Amino acid sequence: MLYQTYEEKITPELHKWQQKMQKRPNLVDRTSKAVQDKINNIIPDKVHGVITSTIKQMTRAVLTGAEFTTSLPAPKNSLEEIEREVTKRIEFYKKAGAAEGGITGAGGFLLALAEFPILIGIKMKLLFEISALYGHSAEDYRERLFILHVFQLTFSSQKQRQKVFEQIIQWQEKSQELPSDIHQFDWKTFQQEYRDYIDLAKMAQLIPGIGAAVGVIVNYRLLNQLGKTAMNAYRMRWFEERTLQAARRQEQLPSAAQNQ
């Protein structure tokens, strides 16, 4: 199929992603969640403590915006130019995350626990850079909240993913309704769902003796998944915002004609 514009080219991929985010949990999803719940029950409290503490620290860092804030780049002329740069950053972080994961996995249990916050930080830094490339300033707490939604969208169960996806649809309009106190965001659910989803893959890396290969594969795959989710989430906003702008221009036409 021949596409006249870049936007037409990526629309089928966006629609496919939107359908995936909205699908009901199937047997595989439910079975995977049940297995992860059982594994979580036998994981040492020390591991759970490190993961929970890391997620709490991360959410606080995102909340304040001090650690991850990225300056906005020069504006691009087109979505295609933006996504060319986004793809480059995703590839960079995939390699960085895989390298860090390999070192961590090879170092065994204690080193893996110590390095876990670094692995999470790499993922959050990628999201902040992607947000900036699409032209969104993280100085606005609502943009940081959107980043957390994207993070949760990537690493949650399918049931929770449906709920999060509904929250980011028409974000520009919904964000205007958000209260000034961002502490009303449900941090407890966010932390629990992220931990439940990621444990199965990360625990394999944390077990001594499995070595670097698993750490490399896991982090490469997770960063790739995160990058694709972020791209589609910001693509959706791109199209929604332009539809909203077109509607507003259309509303202004009658009043402009009356003034002539």
Predicted local confidence at residue 18, as pLDDT: 96
CA–CA distance, 48 with 239 (Å, rounded to integer): 40
> pLDDT for 5-31, tens place per residue?
999 999 999 999 999 999 887 776 666
Give the confidence band of 235 by pLDDT, cuts at 50, 70, 90.
Answer: very high
Q: How many CB atoms lie within 10 A of CB 235?
A: 22
Phi, psi of 138, deg, nearest 5: -75, 0
Q: Which two tokens stand for residue 200?
A: 């199965």
Instruction: Answer for the pair 127, 148: CB distance below 8 angstroms, yes or no.
Output: no
CA–CA distance, 59 with 53 (Å, rounded to integer): 10
Q: Which two tokens stand for residue 195?
A: 């931990």
Continuous H helices in 108-211: 109-133, 141-155, 158-168, 171-175, 187-206
How far is CA 115 from each of CA 40, 102, 109, 251, rounded to the nearest angstrom? 20, 11, 10, 54
Q: What is the pTM of this model?
A: 0.81
> pLDDT for 36-58, tens place per residue?
666 566 666 776 677 777 777 77
Instruction: Answer for the pair 77, 211: CB distance below 8 angstroms, yes or no.
Output: no
